Every structure is written in structure tokens, then in C-alpha cells.
Amino acid sequence: MTVIVLSGPIGAGKSSLTGILSKYLGTNPFYESVDDNPVLPLFYENPKKYAFLLQVYFLNTRFQSIKAALTDDNNVLDRSIYEDALFFQMNADIGRATKEEVDTYYELLHNMMSELDRMPKKNPDLLVHIDVSYDTMLKRIQKRGRNYEQLSYDPSLEDYYKRLLRYYKPWYEKYDYSPKMTIDGDKLDFMASEEDRQEVLNQIVAKLKEMGKLDENWKPNLVK
């Protein structure tokens, strides 16, 4: 039984890979709430006003998801609580949160992480990070077509996205809640190419076998 958390910038392919991977492993997916998130459009319209509220919204849903996932021990999460502070810190660094909001946020996060530390299973088994360049990220954001994420909606999103990418490298290096691995999201087009999809799945399965989380003779539940 495994809990796998995915990470990566906006449009990296986390939701897509969550679906593919959970089917392949025969586990249950947890998706980040986006289309039913009432605060997200407000945030893109007025980031300074809504950065804190949006973060509390995401933090709350991510806390619920990771608790359920660690209890069930049979899941893939498309983004997790471990990535939450990356987003908030970046928004705080560009002046979208007051000192009081920053302090309150970190206290809340700390309390939630302490709760997780008291659970029988405390950590995920593996982090799979999808690494993408700015060009790939932007192409995927355009392909998905959410209006408020487009540069035509707000040209300052170019700086926001580039900045976000810069926060990922140190975040990934510091992450130590579980073993981790990176997928090259620029090279491996796991949506359009069957061969690339299999390559990504092989890399993840090899890592799980190496960690002893999958039996050496393990075969997929569902081959498409």
C-alpha cells in the first residue's frame, strides 16, 4: 500500500498523471479542488485581497486530503500540503500578505503538521515531482484554457509564473518527508505519447520496487 504525492508548477501535468498513475497502480486519486474552488477566480482578479483567503482554503482542503490519504494508505494526490507554503511564501514575498497573515498562516500550518505527526502513518511513501520549463508550463496553461490563468487576462502573470518556477528548486531539495524523484515534464509527453507514458510509469514503478514498496513481481492492474 502506498501514498504518492505529486508536485510541480501550474499546468505541469499533476492532475493528468494522478489519473494515469492511480489507474495503473490500482489506487485512489485525490484531486486538488479547482473548478469548485470559489476563491480561485477572486484571487486572480484581486491577488492582494484574496491571497490569504485562498491559501487558507487550499490548506484546509489539502489537510483533509492528506489525512484521508494517510489513513486509507492507497492513494495518489495531485498536489499536497507539503507544497502549500511554497505558494504562500511566494505571494507573501511579493507583498500579498500582511505580517499578521504570515504569522497566522505559519502557526496554522505548524499545528496541522503536528496533527499529521501524531497519525499512525505520518508521511507519504514517495514524492514524484514534475519538472517543467516556463515554455512548457505556459503551453499547458494555454492548452487547458482557464481564462483567469492566461497572460491575456493579466500580463503580470508572466512574472508570477517565472517566479513560481524559481521557488521549486530549493523547495524540492529541502523536501524530506519521503523519498523523492523527478520526472522530466519537458521531454516526456505522457498525454500524447503512449511510449512516454509507459516510460514515466516504469520510472515510478522502478523507484517503488527499489524502495521495497512494490513486490519485484508486481504487474499493473490495468494495461491500456
Ligand X SMILES: Nc1nc(=O)c2ncn([C@H]3C[C@H](O)[C@@H](CO)O3)c2[nH]1
Site string for ligand X, 145-184 (x = CB under 6 A): ----x-----------------------------------
* Beta-sheet pairing, 28-30 with 3-7: unpaired
- Phi, psi at 76, each rounded to 5°: -125, 130
**DSSP letter, residue 215:** -
Site string for ligand ATP, 132-171 (x = CB under 6 A): --------x--xx---------------------------
- Per DSSP, the three-state class of 126 is strand
**96 forms part of the interface with ligand ATP (CB under 6 A):** no
Shortest CA distance to 27 belongs to which of 217, 210, 216, 208? Answer: 208
Task: Provide the minimum distance between the beta carbon of 81 and ligand X in the complex, in angstroms, as a whole number.
Answer: 10
Is 78 part of the annotated catalytic residue set? yes
Site string for ligand ATP, 68-87 (x = CB under 6 A): ----------x---------
Instruction: Quickly tell me which residue has 509564473 as its cell.
Output: 161
Which CB sits closer to ligand X, 30 or 58? 58
Positive or negative: CA dihedral 189, 191, 192, 193: positive
d(CA 103, CA 18): 33
**Of 3, 4, 5, 12, which one interacts with ligand ATP (CB under 6 A)?**
12
The answer to whether the beta carbons of residues 132 and 186 sit under 8 Å apart is: yes
- Phi, psi at 14, each rounded to 5°: -65, -45
**Of 24, 82, 87, 171, which one interacts with ligand X (CB under 6 A)?**
87
Task: Provide the minimum distance between the beta carbon of 70 and ligand X in the complex, in angstroms, as a whole number.
Answer: 20
- Per DSSP, the three-state class of 213 is coil
Residues that bind ligand X (CB under 6 A): 10, 32, 34, 40, 43, 54-55, 58, 84, 87, 91, 149
Active-site annotation, residues: 78
Residues that bind ligand ATP (CB under 6 A): 8, 10-16, 32, 34, 78, 140, 143-144, 185, 189-192
